[in-house]
Structure 1
């Protein structure tokens, strides 16, 4: 090949494609989901701190260091944000309860595991939002759907209590009332718990579950009855 031919050939080579500064479609979707999640997380924290009505979209944007119009790329309005936060808390709770049930074991072991999962979640932002704000602020038809999900949590506790009574590991009781008492007590943690307080989440969950399972009355150990002694045999004297 002559120098002239080689020069012409080099000119006809396809130039290397310039690297695109834009992310690929899967990466863009992943980034969008991460940002949407950040919006919900910040909103849940603010709802828990200030209340739903006292929190504005401007507050959420300020927490994230973005402009208010930026939020509309990820959510429609504040009502949708609340709906997603509450739904997230419910889904986390149902997933935790189902995982505890799938682990197997006796009903009382599954019940303790479900209580642990529930207590853990109500001390996290989405679970706390579920308890502190509730579904009353969510418009229909989403409110009905969220209440259906709450009913699933209630019935999961009822089933485990009933199974525990049947297997003899729990004292005889009304499963419905007992499930209400357990869920009500654990839900209240989400109202009074403050991150960074005197107790860690692990300590709060452990002490509350122990109180629910063991009660608050001191158990007095009743000494076992002493074994009665056999009457002494008196040797009879032989009369001469």
Structure 2
């Protein structure tokens, strides 16, 4: 009786498929960027070295060069990521439609939330100033696109009667400036969550802080006259 030769087991490659390797590399690159953003926010851009970033990630400095070119490259990507998140969020709100004031409030909420995140805080605390001129120009173009969306929403709100007449350019600067400052004073271990900060900030910006007389006080004032 002939014996059957056992079939060899299919070999298992120690290398992951190309798609999985690409995902793993992207995940590690994102970890480099996120860690760098945290350190930039904590220590400042100039006081943070590639050695500091490598040490926090528990890797060697040469390993970083597999994912990024330089410290300037890291800052560029951190700021670009945050601005991209803002633009994507605003675009989504615009596509959803609704009244101009509702869209404006939602865009303010998105902006406020992002500046409490690592990349968003990096935009506010570090910005593009440490970068060479050509890279600063690119990031300023992205910022201008976000500013333009706020101006358009404010102008639409004035047109629909939900916002008081004002200069949309000045109003956009004031709103964005106030919301941006959150990225400077926000602390993850603070008393308020990012959501609470957004709600409170937007309420103050939309209503103002000046005390308005109640209907009863208005009536009393008219009678006294």
What TM-score do you get using the length of structure 2 for normalisation?
Answer: 0.93
Structure possessing the higher relative contact order (Cα contacts under 8 Å, 6 or more residues apart): 2
Q: Which has the higher helix share?
A: 2
Q: Tell me what 2:167 maps to.
A: 174
TM-fit CA distance, 1:18: 2.0
Q: Tell me what 1:10 maps to.
A: 5
| 1:130 matches 2:123 | yes
Q: Tell me what 1:184 maps to.
A: 177
5+ residue gaps in structure 1?
227-240
Q: Tell me what 2:24 maps to.
A: 31
Larger Rg over CA atoms? 1
| 1:202 matches 2:204 | no
Q: Tell me what 1:214 maps to.
A: 207
Task: Give the 5 Å matches for 1:105-116.
Answer: 105-116=98-109
SS state at 1:141 partner: helix
Runs of 4+ in 1 over 4 A off after TM superposition: 223-226
Which residue, out of 91, 100, 124, partners 1:98? 91
Which residue, out of 82, 93, 104, partners 1:89? 82
What TM-score do you get using the length of structure 1 for normalisation?
Answer: 0.88
5+ residue gaps in structure 2?
221-225
Which residue, out of 29, 48, 56, partners 1:63? 56
Q: Tell me what 1:236 maps to.
A: none
Q: Tell me what 1:154 maps to.
A: 147
Which residue, out of 140, 157, 165, partners 1:164? 157
How many pairs were matched up?
219
Measure, in 2, the Cα distance between the counterparts of 1:58 and 1:94.
Answer: 32
